[in-house]
Amino acid sequence: MNPPKVSGKVNPKTAANALKSASSLRPKLAIILGSGFISVTNEVSSDREIPYQKLAGFMAPSVAGHAGVAIIGRLFDTDILILNGRTHYYEGHSLAQITHPIRVIAEYGIEDLILTNAAGGINRKYKPGDFMLFKDHMNFMGDNPLRGPSIPRRDRFTDLTQTYDPAIAKQIKAAGRKIKTKLHCGTYCAVSGPSYETPAEINAYRKLGADAIGMSTVPEAIVARQCGIRVAAISCITNEAADSNNYPLSHNDVLESGLLAAKTSSKLLGEFTRNYVQG
Ligand code: HPA
């Protein structure tokens, strides 16, 4: 039987109910793991792991480094939902499709969301292995996840004057200080990809005020805000963004840098969760 539809899309309540039946835990905190952050799954005491294929409307990621599993469990005494892996716009899906998991977790009861990703450093002070907490973003994807029919109970003209929650950001900064890791705070520029940028584009984005660049996260943050979820986002800087004096960029190099930063990212998310106070 086909799942019920909302505005022509799969109803997020279907997968939310599947998550509720999978475990009696009721986390308020969720983390979406991008490249460079998956090691934290080793620290989670998992109650249930549900492959994305079993969650209505979720798509299995087709990119190396993205597992496609939802984990409901506990991390340092905090109930948590971890979405290990995401699908990207560049895989050919619509922004509505790739942000469906956000609508699901909102229905499930998540109130605070940490988004993570790998990004290229545009700010010349950022080096591979550093981390950046989002202060703000620029959406250069050429599309918006809220485009389309208006959704009942949701504000189509969602306010983004403060997309990233200052109280959660404060807690992440404290965790960064505690584990003594370089945690910058800057503006993330989202592009559609999948090609990397030209040096001319990076130069232009730098002039506009971007500090890091990547191909994800912003659509999820926009939908999360529309759903009233508090959001924070962290990039693992895996490479210096394209530069005419630079070496060619490759996805494998990005993944490799992500692996090198894995221990630190796991400590950062662990330390944050250990002291997490709901906003
Ligand atoms: N550009 C865009 N996306 C990225 C990069 C980059 O340099 N590094 C990791 N994701």
**141-191, pLDDT tens digit by residue?**
999 999 998 888 898 999 999 999 999 999 999 999 999 998 999 999 999
Q: How far is the CA of 14 from the centre of ligand 1 (A)?
A: 34
Per-residue pLDDT tens for 262-273? 889 999 999 999
For the cut 60, the answer to whether the pLDDT of residue 1 exceeds it is no
Rg (CA), the chain: 18
On the question of a cis peptide bond just before residue 194, with omega within 30 degrees of 0, the verdict is yes
Residue 123 lies in domain: 5-147+160-274
pLDDT band at 19 (very low <50, low <70, confident <90, very high): very high
Q: With respect to residue 153, please indicate whether it lies within any of the assigned structural domains.
A: no
pLDDT given for residue 279 in this prediction: 67
**Ligand 1 site residues, Cβ closer than 6 angstroms:** 118-120, 196-197, 213-215, 238-239, 241, 249, 254
Question: How many domains is the chain partitioned into structurally?
Answer: 1
Distance 197 CA to ligand 1 centre (A): 8
CA–CA dist 189, 214 (Å, integer):
6
Residue 47 lies in a domain: yes
**Can you state the angle between helices 218-226 and 100-108, rounded to 10 degrees?**
40
pLDDT band at 39 (very low <50, low <70, confident <90, very high): confident
pLDDT of 55 higher than 70: yes
Residue 155 falls inside a structural domain: no
pLDDT exceeds cutoff 70 at 2: no
Residue 213 has pLDDT above 70, yes or no: yes
Asked if residue 152 is part of any domain, the answer here is no
- The catalytic position among 94, 111, 139, 251 is 251
Q: Is residue 154 part of a domain?
A: no
pTM: 0.94
225 found inside a domain:
yes
Q: State the CATH number of the domain containing residue 12.
A: 3.40.50.1580
In a domain, 266, yes or no: yes
